[in-house]
């Protein structure tokens, strides 16, 4: 029995080659869209921020487990002091409207609210670990992403496409995989003293993080990175210093200081300083939402280091979780969001000649008036 030829099957050889060529072109376009230099640079910057967060988590865990030091507000206070000494001092030596005193005179109350949101976001997330479980913190902390997208929609006028919502869903799926790996690896051994209070603290902290990130994106893109960091350093130092004296003075008095504890405090402060310094650079070229999706891998880096430092059990789901989060992050960055134009109700709508033709007609009328004046 003879084999059926492509021509007798209804598909000629040129048609088959054309189909293969179209598939190859499609794959080439997809590869060119997902793996551009800008996306690769964004991925690298996002993972650098994740490593900074990983450094803060590891140093905090060392202080808590090995030296019984639980002073999150003191650690934050030192970090804000570094920002104050560098960026606030830079603003003090500026001239004109960018000077520190001029900024304080015009916008002191706005930056007070921003500093309060930033300080309390850090404090509430850390404090939640005392009441609820690691799984709850990891899952509920993702609540900040939809809050951030909603705030960006209304405040920054960001407009999303379907691919962005799919990408966020994929990233959250990766977080769920990571939590499942934690449970299977036996890391969920703390039931918490009051789970409801802890969950509420996580939700509040995540929401305040979203508020802080939206304000950061607005200030960095509209004003300057130095102004944001200088004002956060100034008001963060004041607010965290006052709160430190109220809630942690007994814990600080119990610390038996030595060079190892001091070194861990310095390492934590340097990691936070790098995180605060580099995050505005990444937000300026991307957005606050994409940055928050990129740093979802920070917990995974902490887990990988914990395999060697704290004896964590390894699970292949960690690798799967990292891969899923990165796929979602790349999908989100592959299509830029757009910014909606503000409504201009005072200007009558142009319906017949269009904006471009309107500009040409205005230019022509201006030229004719000039010509008449010359005559």
H runs (alpha helix) in the chain:
13-34, 37-66, 72-83, 89-92, 100-128, 134-140, 144-154, 162-185, 195-222, 225-247, 249-253, 259-285, 288-294, 298-309, 316-334, 354-374
Question: Which domain does 38 fall in, by range?
Answer: 29-337
- Res 129: pLDDT: 75
Contacts of 281 (CB under 8 A, 6+ apart): 45, 225
9: in domain: no
60: in domain: yes
* Tens-digit pLDDT string for the chain (375 aa): 444 444 444 556 666 566 566 665 555 555 555 557 677 787 888 889 989 988 888 888 888 878 888 888 999 999 999 999 999 999 998 888 888 899 999 889 999 999 999 999 988 888 887 777 666 777 777 888 889 889 999 988 888 888 889 989 988 888 888 877 777 766 555 555 567 787 888 889 889 999 999 999 999 998 889 999 999 999 999 999 999 999 888 888 888 889 999 999 999 999 999 999 999 988 888 888 888 888 888 888 887 887 777 777 777 788 888 888 888 888 888 877 777 665 554 444 433 333 333 333 334 444 444 444 443
125: in domain: yes
The total number of structural domains in the chain stands at 1
374: in domain: no
144: in domain: yes
349: in domain: no
121: in domain: yes
48: in domain: yes
Could you tell me if 268 and 56 are in contact, meaning their C-beta atoms sit under 8 angstroms apart? yes
């Amino acid at each position: 029995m003879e084999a059926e030829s492509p021509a007798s099957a209804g598909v000629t050889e040129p048609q088959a080659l054309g189909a293969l060529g179209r598939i190859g072109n499609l794959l080439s376009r997809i590869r060119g869209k997902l793996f551009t230099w800008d996306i690769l640079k964004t991925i690298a910057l996002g993972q650098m921020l994740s490593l900074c967060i990983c450094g803060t988590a590891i140093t905090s865990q060392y202080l808590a487990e090995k030296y019984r030091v639980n002073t999150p507000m003191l650690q934050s206070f030192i970090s804000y002091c570094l920002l104050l000494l560098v960026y606030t001092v830079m603003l003090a030596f500026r001239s004109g409207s960018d000077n520190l005193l001029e900024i304080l005179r015009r916008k002191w109350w706005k930056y007070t609210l921003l500093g309060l949101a930033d300080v309390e976001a850090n404090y509430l997330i850390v404090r939640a670990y005392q009441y609820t479980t690691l799984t709850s913190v990891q899952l509920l902390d993702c609540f900040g992403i939809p809050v951030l997208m909603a705030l960006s929609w209304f405040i920054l006028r960001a407009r999303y496409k379907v691919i962005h919502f799919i990408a966020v869903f994929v990233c959250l799926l990766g977080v769920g995989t990571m939590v499942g790996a934690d449970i299977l690896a036996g890391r969920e051994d703390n039931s918490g003293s009051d789970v409801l209070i802890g969950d509420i603290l996580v939700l509040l902290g995540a929401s305040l993080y979203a508020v802080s990130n939206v304000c950061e994106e607005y200030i960095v893109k509209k004003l300057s990175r130095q102004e944001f960091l200088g004002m956060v350093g100034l008001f963060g130092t004041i607010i965290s210093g006052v709160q430190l004296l109220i809630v942690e003075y007994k814990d600080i008095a119990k610390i038996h200081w030595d060079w190892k504890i001091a070194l861990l405090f310095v390492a934590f402060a340097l990691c936070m300083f790098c995180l605060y310094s580099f995050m505005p650079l990444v937000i300026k070229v991307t957005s606050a939402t994409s940055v928050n999706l990129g740093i979802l891998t920070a917990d995974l880096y902490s887990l990988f280091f914990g395999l060697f430092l704290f004896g964590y059990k390894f699970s292949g789901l960690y690798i799967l979780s990292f891969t899923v989060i990165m796929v979602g992050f790349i999908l989100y960055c592959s299509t830029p969001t757009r910014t909606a134009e503000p409504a201009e109700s005072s200007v009558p709508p142009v319906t017949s000649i269009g904006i471009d033709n309107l500009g040409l007609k205005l230019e022509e009328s201006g030229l004719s008036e000039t010509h008449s004046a010359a005559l």
